[in-house]
Structure 1
Amino acid sequence: MIIDKLAEADKYYSLHKNYQVAFEYLKAQDLLNLEVGKYEIADGVVAFVTDKEGVTPEVAAGKFECHNKNIDIQLCIRGTETIAWRPRTDCIDPRGEYNDEKDVLFYNDAADTTFKLKGGQFAIFYPEDVHAPMMGEGLIKKLVVKVRIA
């Protein structure tokens, strides 16, 4: 997992062949006015914009998830978002089977830690990062970029 500001994203370009494409797209947008929806950025790079009420920790725990095929770049655009995290190797209680079509596996395990993202900050979640986003009060506008691993 990586946590940083969008202004510092260029130092991560070398970590994946599509990070530069993803982050340059983000930097080129008027994020506050970007409409809710899905955006095809490039082959293997898709963005989703949401603008909705934050949820309680109990609700977020129901979405404690990880992915096998994609890396998540989760950027907070507006509001303050709390995200729960735990290493996948420490999770032992999966909830159901991995959904290949949606690239998601949920866990019943509890998070080890939480952290906050404010406008202009992002977190990168790899397949080894189990995470539960969208905790907070009020509206949270965010953008999630799915970057295919291979």
Structure 2
Amino acid sequence: MAIWGTLDLISQQLASNERFEAALAYLREALAPGSAVHGRIMAIAEGVTERVDLADGVFALEQVYTGKPAGEGRFEAHDQYVDLQAVLSGEEAMEVTARAGLAVTEDLLADKDVVFLADRAAVSRWVVAPGEIAVFFPGDAHKPSLAAGAAPVLAHKTVVKVRL
């Protein structure tokens, strides 16, 4: 089940799991203004995504983009990785729903561990502010990178992928 909140809350939920130690340590730096990791992400040009390997089975995708209208997003899910999506600046909306029962529109699980899924009318919409993290597990379909308001804003974000 997806969870959403501050680093402290997320740490409490995931701390007992060794797989998340490297991810949480990285997120502490990424969300700390003045840290090297935070500065590196804030310096990324719009439209660029940089991969950073953190530990065996854990990596981050540091990215900068302008949020898109909900109609341009796609639900996605993963089988092998848990996503920890942290917003550093700007804000974005993320839609989330159960993966079960959604029709597959594109299956890239074998090559990229991502499957794209059809929309569903009844979903939860989270507005994720700077310093907040959304965590998505394999049973969660999520549509990230959406504009939170009428005017899309530039978002600096990192997505930590933790292999199950």
State the TM-score, normalized to the length of structure 2. 0.82
Q: Which residue is 1:33 aligned to?
A: 39
Ranges in structure 1 where 5+ consecutive residues have no aligned partner: none
Post-superposition offset of 1:45: 0.4
The Cα of 1:99 is off from its aligned counterpart by 2.8
Is 1:100 aligned with 2:101? no
What is the aligned partner in structure 2 of residue 109 from structure 1?
Answer: 119
Higher strand fraction (1 or 2):
1
- CA-CA distance at 1:6 after TM superposition: 1.4
Structure 1 outlier segments of 4+, above 3 Å: none
Q: What's the CA shift for 1:96?
A: 3.0
Amino acid at match of 1:79: G
Structure 2 partner of 1:46 = 59
Structure 2 equivalent of residue 118 of structure 1: 129
Q: Which runs of 5+ in 2 are unaligned?
A: 45-49
| Comparing 32-41 and 64-73, the one that deviates more | 32-41
Give the number of aligned pairs: 145
Identity %: 28
Q: In the alignment, what sits opposite 2:86?
A: 75
CA RMSD of aligned residues (A): 1.5
In the alignment, structure 1 residue 4 sits paired with structure 2 residue 43: no
- Aligned CA distance change for structure 1 residues 97 and 51 (closer, same or farther; 3 Å): closer
Distance 1:107 1:67 in 2: 11
Deviations 1:114-139 (A, max 9, x none): 11100000011000000000111110
Contact 1:32/1:78 (<8 A) preserved: no
Equivalent residue, structure 1, for 2:19? 18
Q: 1:25 to 1:103 in 2, by over 3 A?
A: same
How far apart, in 1, do the equivalents of 2:9 and 2:118 lie? 34
**In 2, Cα distance between equivalents of 1:72 and 1:114:** 17
Q: Which deviates more from structure 2 when the two are superposed, residues 112-121 or residues 95-104?
A: 95-104
Give the superposition deviation at 1:32: 3.9
Q: In structure 2, what is the Cα distance between the partners aligned to 1:10 and 1:23?
A: 7
The residue number in structure 1 matching 2:158 is 143
Question: How far is 1:23 from its partner?
Answer: 0.6
Q: Give 1:67 deviation, angstroms.
A: 0.2
